[in-house]
Amino acid sequence: MAKTLILKELSKKEILLSSGHRMCAGCGAPTVVKMVLLATDYPVIASNATGCLEVSSCISDYTAWKIPWIHNAFENAAATISGVEAMYRSLKKQGKIQEEIKFIAFGGDGGTYDIGLQSLSGAMERGHDMIYICYDNGAYMNTGIQRSSATPMGANTTTRPAGSVIPGKTEPRKNLTKIMAAHNIPYAAQASPSHWKDLMKKVQKAHEIKGPKFLNIISPCNRGWRSRTDDSILLSRLAVDTCYWPLYEVENGVTKITFTPKEKKPVVDFLKPQGRFRHLFTPENEWIIKKIQEDIDREWKLLQKEELLFST
C-alpha cells in the first residue's frame, strides 16, 4: 500500500492525533506521531508506554487519539500490543475479523531502552506483526529530565547533573537500533522528523513487511535539552548532519544508510544550541566533546563499512 509522499496530497488526509494535547510547545513527539500516522492508510491500533506522549495525549476525559489506543504501564508497550495483535490473529483465524489492521507500540527512550527492554526484546523475538516506535528524547523527560541509557554522554540531567566532580553523564549511550537489528528482525531503522520523507518511507516499508519491526526516531525535547521552543526540527536535522543520529535501516540483516549528509558537520554544531551541554564548553571538559566526536566518527565509519559488506 505504498503511497506517493507529496505534502499537498498528505495535507488532505485526516491527522489521527488531534490538537488539544498537552505536550509542551515545540515538542518533537507529536510531530513524530503525526508523521508516523500520516504515512499509512491502513487502520492502526497503538499501545503507548507511560511517558510524555502518553500522559499528554490522553488525560482525564480527553484523548487526542483518533485511532484505538491503549496505555497499560511503563515497561510493557510491546507486551501489550503483542496481546492485541494475538487477539487479532485469533479472531481473524476464526473468521470474526476480515480487515487488515496494523499494530504499533509507541514508547519513549525510558520505556524502551531501559525498563521496557525486556518486553520489547520478547515481542520482537516472538515475531509479532507489529512496529515498535521509540521516540527518543534522550532522558526520562516526563518525570523531569532524568538520565536514561539513551542519554548522550556529557549531558546534564537531573539525576546526573553536571557538578563540580561529575560532568554529567559519563557513559556513552546504548545503541538500541543495533541491539534490535541483532534480534534478526526483518526491519530495524533510525529516522528523524527533519527528514520526513525518509521517516514516512520507512514507516510505509515497515507496514508492508510481515513480522516485528523497530523504528528509532529522534524526538528533541526543548525542556530537557534546554533549547529553544522553535528548534526541535532544526536540532533533529543537526543530529542527522553531525551523524549523531545516522539515518539507516537494517533489512533482513543488510545495512543501508538511507541519508548521507552532504557535509558531515562537527558534533559541536549539535551540542552548542543545547543548554544541557553548556558545561562541556570549558577547558576541563573539552575532552568529553572530543570523546563524543570520536564515538560518533567511529560509529559512522562502522556503519559505512557494514553497508559496504552488503553492497553489490
Partner 1 sequence: MKLKGWKEVTPGAVILDAGNAVEFKTGSWRAFRPVWNEENCIQCLFCWLYCPDMAIKVKDGKMAGFDYDYCKGCGICALECPGKKGNKAIVMVEEGK
Partner 2 sequence: MAKIVAVTGNEAVANALRQINPDVCAAYPITPQTELMQRFSSFVSNDKVKTELILVESEHSAMSACVGAAAAGGRVATATSSQGLALMWEILFIASGLRLPIVMPVVNRSLSAPLNIHCDHSDAMGARDSGWIQLWSENAQEAYDNTIQAFRIAENMDIRLPAMICYDGFIIGHSIACIEYLDDEAVRNFAGEYQTLYPLLDVKNPVSYGPLILPDYYMEYKKAQDEAASKVANVVLDVAREFEKISGRTYGLFETYRLDDADIGLVILNSAAGTSKDVVDEFRDKGIKAGLFKPRLFRPFPYEQAGETLKHLQAICVLDRADAFGGSYGPLFLEIATSLYPYREKPILINKIYGLGGRDYLPEHAELALNELINITKTGQVRTVKEYIGVRE
Positions in the binding site for partner 1 (CB under 8 A): 7-12, 15, 17-31, 34-35, 57-58, 61-67, 193, 196, 228-234
Kindly tell me the sign of the dihedral angle through the C-alpha atoms of 119, 124, 129, 135: positive
Whole-number Å distance between alpha carbons of 24 and 178: 30
Report the residue number, 29 or 123, with the smaller CB distance to partner 1.
Answer: 29
Listed residue (299, 301, 297, 271) closest to 286, CA to CA: 271
Interaction with partner 2 in 37-76: which residues (CB under 8 A)?
43, 45, 47, 54-55, 58-63, 65-73, 75-76
Report the residue number, 177 or 227, with the smaller CB distance to partner 1.
Answer: 227
Shortest Å, Cβ 48 to partner 2: 8
Phi and psi dihedrals of 188, rounded to 5? -135, 135
In the list partner 1, partner 2, none, the entry touching 234 (Cβ below 5 to 8 angstroms by class) is: partner 1
Q: Is 20 exposed, middle or buried (0-12, 13-18, 19+ CB in 10 A)?
A: exposed
Shortest Å, Cβ 270 to partner 1: 16
Shortest Å, Cβ 122 to partner 2: 3
In the list partner 1, partner 2, none, the entry touching 71 (Cβ below 5 to 8 angstroms by class) is: partner 2
Can you read off the three cell numbers belonging to residue 110? 525510558
Three-class SS state of 201: helix
In the list partner 2, partner 1, none, the entry touching 119 (Cβ below 5 to 8 angstroms by class) is: partner 2
- Member of 88, 140, 214, 270 binding partner 2 (CB under 8 A): 88
Report the residue number, 122 or 266, with the smaller CB distance to partner 2.
Answer: 122
Three-class SS state of 44: strand
- Member of 32, 36, 39, 79 binding partner 2 (CB under 8 A): 79
According to the binding rule CB under 8 A, does residue 140 interact with partner 2?
A: no
Interaction with partner 2 in 170-189: which residues (CB under 8 A)?
none
According to the binding rule CB under 8 A, does residue 87 interact with partner 2?
A: yes
Can you read off the three cell numbers belonging to residue 94? 476464526
Residues binding partner 2: number (CB under 8 A): 46
Residue with cell 484523548: 63
CA distance to 16, 121, 250, per residue, from 208 (Å): 20, 21, 15
In the list partner 1, partner 2, none, the entry touching 45 (Cβ below 5 to 8 angstroms by class) is: partner 2
According to the binding rule CB under 8 A, does residue 210 interact with partner 2?
A: no
Shortest Å, Cβ 140 to partner 2: 16
Contact assessment for residue 235 and residue 274, using Cβ atoms and an 8 Å cutoff: yes
Which ranges constitute the DSSP H helices of 114-264? 117-126, 176-181, 196-208, 232-241
Report the residue number, 55 or 153, with the smaller CB distance to partner 1.
Answer: 55
Whole-number Å distance between alpha carbons of 128 and 134: 17
Concatenating the DSSP letter of every residue in 251-298 gives ETTEEEEEE--SSPPPTHHHHTT-GGGGGGSSGGGHHHHHHHHHHHHH
Stretch that binds partner 2, among 92-100, 168-176, 265-273, 274-282 (CB under 8 A): 92-100
Shortest Å, Cβ 58 to partner 1: 7
